[in-house]
Structure 1
Amino acid sequence: MTSFNVFVTTLVLAVSILSSYLSMTTEATQNPLYRFCSNTTTFNPNSPYKSNLDVVLFNLSWNAAQESDCIYQDADAGGVNGTSNYVYGNYLCRGDVNSTICHGCVLASIEFARQNCSVEKEMIVWYDEWMLRYSNQSFRSTMSVYPYFYMWNVENATEMDKFKQEVEKTMNEFASKAARSGKKFMVHEANISGFDTIYSLVQCTQDLSSDDCTKCLQNATSRFPSLLDGKRGGRVCLPSCNIRYELYRFYDVDEPPQMTPQLVSPPPPSPTDPVTVPKECESEISTIESLQFDLETIETATSRFSEDNKLGEGGFGEVFEGTLPNRQEIAVKRLSKSSSQGAEEFKNEVVLVAKLQHRNLVRLLGFCLDGGEKMLVYEFVPNKSLDYFLFDPAKQGELDWSKRHNIIGGIARGILYLHEDSRLRVIHRDLKASNILLDVDMNPKISDFGMARMFGIDQTEGNTKRIVGTYGYMAPEYAMEGLYSIKSDVFSFGVLLLEILSGRKNSGFHLTKFAPSLLAYAWNLWNEGKRLELMDPLLKDSCAANEFMRYVHIGLLCVQEDAYNRPTMSSVVHMLKSETISLSQPERPAFSVGRITQRHEFEPAPDRSLSDNGLSISTFLPR
């Protein structure tokens, strides 16, 4: 094609684009639900990458302008595939959106990307009915599950547990059918006894194989229990697929989806479907100034930090109960002037916890930086912490197997949310019984994120010279080498699990010279075929032997010395839920024979109980 012909073609397309852009409907000009612009790789505005990106966006807009029912297209440019300046891109319109609307949607996305992700090589933006993506890394025919975002309806369903099961069952049943369809798009209406009709929609990018499409949709569906938690409507959107359910008909295509639908403009999103939009985590407190309390409000709420209002204290400072003017009960964590949690850790906890929302995480209401004070304001959790019940002979009896079973599952789901389902990968680094709070129904809530670390979606581990945490719960690779990862938290969960099963602390455990820790004791009983001897005697009448032994097995898998052998929390959650999943044989747990020098170097003073004050170690450990 001559340069003149290219010019004419470009001019015609430009006129077409302008005409379409001016006539776009509100669907194509609405604000995006979520965007991701990776700042890990950027390009110069005058670079070859920018030129190749322009070509890719041009080709995508050209393809979208063709008179065809084209809901998906990809394009690439750059000369030599795989080079640093190569660009890959695609768009996906919802299956019930007609080609005219889809064209306008793609144009709106391109304009948004150019204005808001102007120098980032990797970008993805989601709207209600479409998505645009480009990157310098090839993703064609590859299932991608990160980054993602989710939304939910503000209202809870009745009979939440049953509703969650029915939704998950319904979505899983027709996901594989959708994966085998030509469009990889399907809607479904299910009449479920006791509920209104559930309307569901699933879709994959058309470059995926049927198997990968099925896996992607299953990945999205698996996030429902922890993210949407029994809401009357919700969606999860991944780069390669998306799913949504509502109790109203939100799409414009009739079943069966294999029939050619009447393509009309879809209705605007329901106003009762608010967005929970993940944003790249900011590091400054100024991003959450709306959460700041003034000192006078906190002093009034706590009766000026009265001793009668004190809930407890530890190395970090004191915790007080309080009541706000609107009668909301709160817990105020008042950091001591000598607290090891400095300004950086304080800001870390504020920013981190404010962005985390899960039923098994304690909810941060705000903070106070006033009058030389550093305070965190949390929801009030009335039943104190797990160790308050678990390690007190007078209170252990209140934790029968039903309650412990619920606590174990809740802790596991909370950690899974931090590792896989929150906005970024979060490693807690200080999971212990005193950091598990119990609400009025004895449901667990993970607390104290001052030592937590946030990772990018592709980062799996970190290293530090400053070891923070609590003796007895720290994984060996972290205590010895400063290496931490999601498997470090898995280790801590395993310790917690064995403590809950036995009613004994791991730290300071003394039974015989052959069992210097609870982990070693459990390991010895396992090898000797005496696993039931680990059971807290108070559980004998409420816990089935087979279930107990399975939970011990899972606990030992979590505390294996080699981090690589430990399961992920997603696997742990599945193991806890299903008795049909076979379990591998555990290897020796860490610290079972005293791998870390002498125990007395790390033990607290005899009169300082970790369960009473929540002390944390912040020191260098020998290598």
Structure 2
Amino acid sequence: MDSPTFLYIVLTLSPIFAINLVTGQFNSFTNNWCSNTTYSTNSTYQSNLHNLLNKISNDTKITYGFYNFTVGHTPDRVHSLALCRGDVPVNTCRLCIRNAATLLPQVCPNNIEAFGYSGYCSIFISNRSIYGKVQDLAPWSFGNNQNVDPKVVGFNETLISLMSSLQNQAASGDSKLKYAAGKTNLTGGGGQMLYGLVQCTPDLSRKNCMQCIQKRLDELPLCCSLPSEVNMVQQSCFLKYSTNPFFGNVPDLPLSSPPPLFPSEPMNNNRSTPTEVKKTGKSYIIPAIAISIGVSAILTIIIGFIMLSRRAKLRKSWMVQFSKDEIQALKSLQFSLGAIKHATNNFSDDYKLGQGGFGSVYKGVLADGQEIAVKRLLRNSKQGDAEFKNEILILAKLRHRNLVTLIGFCLHGKEMILVYEFVANRSLDYFIFDPLKRQSMMWETRYNIINGIARGIRYLHEDSRLTIIHRDLKAGNVLLDAEFDAKIADFGLARLFDIDQTQTLASKIMGTLGYISPEYALQRQVSVKSDVYSFGVLVLEIVSGQRITSFLYEENQENLLSFAWRNHTEGTPMNLVDPALLPTISSTEILRCIHIGLLCVQHNPIDRPTMSSIDLMLSSNSDILEVPLQPAFFMNNRLPSMLSQWNNDTQSTNTSGGGSINGVTISEIQPR
């Protein structure tokens, strides 16, 4: 792989984006980078790359300008990040991304990693996991050949002030957009303005976005006169400033539906044409062909009619439970039972990953090579059609890197099946609570998991189209992918909230002992702060390597929360830390996580922070944290004693605390 280099280039051309506004085509990238490592022609990696580029170029669902697709599996898996500038209209963005996907294999033929930037958009492909990680492979800087007017006073100071403000605004964006643009007056410039733009790929945390932009700002040669326009580009972020306006007036270009960039099957140029058939002189061929076509057409119609009739009978029992809009939205998610059986080798025991109270989970492989996790509900399961329906409707609307993705479902007779993306590693509890396995989970891995969980819950609470409360956040419902990135699973207890709704009363208390907030356990009050409480318990478990329900001392009658609180107030918080971490621990980060965990488990929901503020606390070590109050369930080991008051009248999704494997239980959901 190429070593990181930095180039400062002054260009004599003012336009940085060579695009024809009539045809919407451009001839080259403004910048591109190709790795030294290559793949073989006609290899699996090339096939996966072509499928991925087709997927990017033909996507019409994404409207916010950020594309993150992965195709294939290790070692031939291809990852991608594609990003449009924040002020680019949707159609122009899609056109730019499509052109970039076409051009990238041309400028970087057979290169395993490649990056292209064209002013309006960028694209990056790699064989390694790149989501949520700052890429710093080959930064560039380029501008025009005209220096700033010498009459301008304090240009450098004005520039840094503007860009720093934009840097903070962009980094504070959500999981769909981290972008900011603005302008300011230049002193002594005769009314001249300075325009600036900053953007990060939205998969980055606030901290990583800030750091990425800061590196670009630090590379500005502030010792001397600067060009009046400069672009600084890197795979994870870019910035631009100019004394001329350049953002907010991007044309909205027309978009047509093109054929795939890379056809799945090569064209066969040796096929006979009708003229060639006639030249054979065998006149009986044409009637035979006509008869066979006619018979095939009749059989096709008959078979199709039979299949439609059978499907109608099968769907009649459940389609009536969905509205017309819901039926339309779910069409693309339906799998046939035959496809599921083929993917799982007819639900073979060799493919079984695990079994829970509501059914078995199998690993499967679809026809296109995608690995899946198949949840097959037991036919005598207590869960009914309504719960199954709500599970699908909720998860079908969720798309986030730190949430397990619902790929589809199957309803065939009595079969009720959910299909999820396959997550390579088991759940967090399988690792974090095992005395041997947690030895390999160093602090960097645990801290990354904490950040991933926080981003996922923030998306549910604040950034998704719906306000969703998970209600069962625990170590067993956090799955880990091949890179040990966190994916929140099991939305069986999820609740939908109205935008202006802050809390509601649950008809039943359902969850997992130890993770349930006191207001939910005792008054049935459900709010986003219920998840915040569970997150705080989970953070303390990750730090200590101990379960909330097993961290008890018979002599002192303490639980995990009271033990953490006592050591925090006595100035000995390191007593809480898993001994496996102590040799290589980052004390600043871990002490901050203990502090954040205690803020989350405070008794009064009002005192607990929101997930957006937690995300900010985790990404910035400079912010001063509030002093936490005494946690809930503190005195005299009140956790088990208080829970026993309602345990007989409630349902728990898991009291054993055992590990789970890609398991998503289906429980009562009551959307509002």
Counterpart of 2:658 in structure 1 is 611
What is the deviation of 1:269? Answer: 6.4
Counterpart of 2:287 in structure 1 is none
State the AA in 2 paired with 1:447: A
The DSSP-based 3-state class of the residue aligned with 1:382 is: coil
Counterpart of 1:497 in structure 2 is 539
Counterpart of 2:243 in structure 1 is 256
Distance 1:164 1:463 in 2: 49
The DSSP-based 3-state class of the residue aligned with 1:303 is: coil
Mapped contact 2:374–2:418 kept (Cα < 8 A): yes
2:329 to 287, 291, 298: 287
Q: Which moved more, 1:467-476 or 1:312-321?
A: 312-321
Distance 1:580 1:308 in 2: 51
What is the deviation of 1:494? Answer: 0.6
5 Å-filtered alignment, 1:236-247, equals none
The Cα offsets for residues 180-200 of structure 1, whole Å up to 9 and x where unpaired, read as: 9xxxx9xxxxxxxxxxxxx98
Distance 1:413 1:32 in 2: 22
Counterpart of 2:402 in structure 1 is 360
- 1:162 is the counterpart of 2:142: no
- 1:559 is the counterpart of 2:601: yes
The DSSP-based 3-state class of the residue aligned with 1:451 is: coil
Counterpart of 1:520 in structure 2 is 562
Distance 2:517 2:401 in 1: 26
Mapped contact 1:301–1:322 kept (Cα < 8 A): yes
Q: 1:493 to 1:599 in 2, by over 3 A?
A: same
Counterpart of 2:251 in structure 1 is 266
Mapped contact 1:559–1:590 kept (Cα < 8 A): yes
Counterpart of 2:431 in structure 1 is 389
Distance 1:528 1:550 in 2: 16
Counterpart of 2:204 in structure 1 is 225
What is the deviation of 1:297? Answer: 1.7
Counterpart of 2:481 in structure 1 is 439
Higher Cα radius of gyration: 2
The DSSP-based 3-state class of the residue aligned with 2:541 is: helix
The Cα offsets for residues 586-616 of structure 1, whole Å up to 9 and x where unpaired, read as: 11111123167455574999x9732246898
Mapped contact 2:599–2:608 kept (Cα < 8 A): yes
What is the deviation of 1:528? Answer: 2.7
The DSSP-based 3-state class of the residue aligned with 2:658 is: helix
Counterpart of 1:457 in structure 2 is 499
5 Å-filtered alignment, 1:12-411, equals 155-156=123-124, 161-162=133-134, 202=181, 225=204, 255-257=242-244, 266=251, 268=253, 284-411=326-453
What is the deviation of 1:307? Answer: 2.3
The Cα offsets for residues 48-70 of structure 1, whole Å up to 9 and x where unpaired, read as: xxxxxxxxxxxxxxxxxxxxxxx
State the AA in 2 paired with 1:289: K
Counterpart of 1:484 in structure 2 is 526
Give identity over the alignment, percent: 44
Mapped contact 1:341–1:450 kept (Cα < 8 A): no
What is the deviation of 1:567? Answer: 0.6
What is the deviation of 1:471? Answer: 0.9
2:632 to 575, 580, 590: 590
RMSD across aligned positions (CA): 4.8
The DSSP-based 3-state class of the residue aligned with 1:337 is: coil
State the AA in 2 paired with 1:565: D
The DSSP-based 3-state class of the residue aligned with 1:311 is: strand
The Cα offsets for residues 241-275 of structure 1, whole Å up to 9 and x where unpaired, read as: xxxx9999xxxx994346xx9999825167899xx
Mapped contact 1:466–1:618 kept (Cα < 8 A): no
Distance 2:242 2:377 in 1: 59
- 1:424 is the counterpart of 2:424: no
State the AA in 2 paired with 1:462: T
Mapped contact 2:541–2:548 kept (Cα < 8 A): yes
What is the deviation of 1:336? Answer: 2.5
Distance 1:427 1:448 in 2: 12
Counterpart of 1:109 in structure 2 is none
Distance 1:563 1:356 in 2: 26
State the AA in 1 paired with 2:531: D
Distance 2:655 2:241 in 1: 67
Mapped contact 2:344–2:364 kept (Cα < 8 A): yes
Counterpart of 1:537 in structure 2 is 579
Mapped contact 1:515–1:521 kept (Cα < 8 A): no
Q: 1:338 to 1:591 in 2, by over 3 A?
A: farther
Distance 1:254 1:444 in 2: 37
State the AA in 1 paired with 2:505: N
Q: TM-score, normalised by structure 2?
A: 0.54
Q: Which structure is higher in RCO with an 8 Å CA cutoff and minimum separation 6?
A: 2
Distance 1:474 1:490 in 2: 10
State the AA in 1 paired with 2:437: K
Counterpart of 1:414 in structure 2 is 456
What is the deviation of 1:324? Answer: 1.7
The Cα offsets for residues 64-93 of structure 1, whole Å up to 9 and x where unpaired, read as: xxxxxxxxxxxxxxxxxxxxxxxxxxxxxx
State the AA in 1 paired with 2:243: P
Distance 1:286 1:335 in 2: 24
What is the deviation of 1:383? Answer: 0.6
What is the deviation of 1:542? Answer: 1.8
What is the deviation of 1:353? Answer: 1.8
The DSSP-based 3-state class of the residue aligned with 2:621 is: coil
Q: 1:523 to 1:219 in 2, by over 3 A?
A: farther
Q: 1:364 to 1:308 in 2, by over 3 A?
A: same
Q: 1:302 to 1:154 in 2, by over 3 A?
A: farther
The DSSP-based 3-state class of the residue aligned with 2:584 is: coil
What is the deviation of 1:407? Answer: 0.8
Mapped contact 1:575–1:581 kept (Cα < 8 A): yes
Unmatched segments (≥5 aa) in structure 1: 1-24, 36-94, 98-125, 130-151, 168-172, 186-198, 205-216, 231-244, 274-280
Distance 1:153 1:96 in 2: 11
Unmatched segments (≥5 aa) in structure 2: 1-21, 25-59, 65-85, 93-119, 141-157, 167-177, 184-195, 210-231, 259-322
Distance 1:319 1:512 in 2: 38
What is the deviation of 1:525? Answer: 2.0
Q: 1:596 to 1:385 in 2, by over 3 A?
A: closer
Mapped contact 2:533–2:601 kept (Cα < 8 A): yes
Paired residues, number:
424
The DSSP-based 3-state class of the residue aligned with 1:284 is: helix
Counterpart of 2:268 in structure 1 is none
Q: 1:618 to 1:356 in 2, by over 3 A?
A: closer
Mapped contact 1:469–1:617 kept (Cα < 8 A): no
State the AA in 2 paired with 1:449: F
Q: 1:530 to 1:339 in 2, by over 3 A?
A: farther
Distance 2:589 2:500 in 1: 36
Mapped contact 2:426–2:659 kept (Cα < 8 A): no
